[in-house]
Amino acid sequence: MELIERYLQEVGRYLPADKRADILTELRSSLDDTLEARAGEGVKEDEVIQILKELGAPRKVAASYYPAGQYLIGPELYPFFQFIFTIVLAASIGGQLIAAAVGYFTSSDPVSIVGQLGQIVDSLLPTVGSVVLIFAALQRFNVHPDFDKQEFDPRKLPPLQKDQPVSRGEKIFSIVIGIVFLAFFSQIAMNGGFSTQNGITVLTNPIIDQYFPWIALSMLANILLDVVLLWRGRWEIPTRIAKIGTNLFTIVVVFILLQGHTAWLSLMGVHGFTFIPEQFSQNIQGLQLLVMASFRIALFVVLIITGIETLSTVYQLFRAGRNHGISNLTGMALINK
């Protein structure tokens, strides 16, 4: 019955990954025995609801499988810890990325990707550690927020988590845009830009020429992944992992391009976002400066959007992974029946 599957799914959220399958199998067997003893084969939804109410809220049931004092942050406190931890982590990473971006655009010196990542990790350790220590102290002194003031109602359990469907229109649009931009960058790399009727070449970009193979590889990987998602019709754990990988590769390529554009503009006298309007005059050199500055702004926007998308995909992968074991148990139970 779906209500039981939803209940087991919610209990599984608060169980450790290494013990989740065994505990849920045991709990499922116990529920089946209870239902058979009370109602036989003609099980009604009201009887299932009553049995689940007697068993208790999922968080409390999960807590009963933990030996007292054997965990740092218990299941009753963990949802609140997860909520606060996510906010603190997102705020810390966002603040560090903004600070790094400001430093990057206000300095003409080369920026090391590894160095920036190291600084972010170093700043996260004390912040995250403080949150963990605070909740560990709350756990130690048995301070638990009262989440269950209202009576547990099984009918209000979250729906079963399934693979998220893919928007076909969105993926088709993404594939078309990817192909258009790949052709655009190919034109710049192979022909040096676009020629006007007067024979003047515009939109030249020496940095695109230099790193075009990496740009093409990144764009082709994203297009290929979109094609696979369009074919599969849904997000799955492997495709989410592939999306994170392609996004991280894209972030590295975009960061290198940003450095290249910043170094080129610095040599031409344009430092950071401060410039003299006369530099962007109507002559060929002024137009070239304008093109390069525009490319740099566009790359910065792409970097921010890709970073946010990557964090969102990591979160979705985390949620999908927590429910993967429960989905496998559900499938096994249906096969056995």
CA distance 109 to 262: 9
Where does the chain have alpha helices with state H?
2-12, 17-39, 45-55, 58-63, 78-105, 113-140, 168-191, 206-232, 237-267, 284-336
Give me the chain's average pLDDT, please: 75
Q: With bands split at pLDDT 50, 70 and 90, how would you rate the model's confidence at 248?
A: very high
Instruction: Report residue 317 as tokens.
Output: 């992968």
CB-based burial label for 326 (10 Å; 0-12, 13-18, 19+) = buried
Predicted local distance difference test score (pLDDT) of residue 250: 93
**Model pTM?**
0.57
Residue from 282, 247, 266, 283 nearest 207 by CA: 266
Residue from 247, 163, 175, 260 nearest 211 by CA: 260
Q: Is residue 270 within 8 Å of 293, Cβ to Cβ?
A: yes
CA distance 8 to 143: 26
Predicted local distance difference test score (pLDDT) of residue 47: 81
Question: How far lies 333's CA from each of 1, 17, 43, 150, in Å?
Answer: 11, 19, 17, 32
Classify 39 as helix, strand or coil: helix
Instruction: Summarize pLDDT for 73-128 with one digit per residue, the tens.
Output: 766 677 677 777 777 777 777 667 666 665 655 555 555 555 666 777 777 778 77
Tokens 């990817």 — which residue? 178
**Packed helices 168-191 and 206-232: angle between N→C axes, nearest 10 degrees:** 160
Predicted local distance difference test score (pLDDT) of residue 216: 93
Residue 197 gets the label, from left (phi > 0), alpha (psi -120 to 50) or beta, of alpha
Q: Which of 102-116, 154-168, 211-225 has the lowest mean pLDDT?
A: 102-116
Q: Is residue 299 within 8 Å of 261, Cβ to Cβ?
A: yes
Instruction: Report residue 205 as tokens.
Output: 């970009």
The amino acid that residue 29 corresponds to is: S
Instruction: Summarize pLDDT for 304-325 with one digit per residue, the tens.
Output: 889 888 888 887 777 666 555 4
Sorted by where each begins, the domain ranges of the chain are: 2-63, 78-143, 168-336
Predicted local distance difference test score (pLDDT) of residue 218: 94
Largest distance between two CA atoms of the chain: 89
DSSP letters spanning 101-159: HHHHHT--S---HHHHHHHHHHHHHHHHHHHHHHHHHHHHTT-------SPP-GGGSPP
Q: Is residue 212 within 8 Å of 189, Cβ to Cβ?
A: yes
Instruction: Summarize pLDDT for 178-202 with one digit per residue, the tens.
Output: 998 888 888 888 776 655 555 555 6
Instruction: Report residue 315 as tokens.
Output: 């979160």
Percent of the chain with pLDDT over 70: 69
CA distance 59 to 148: 9
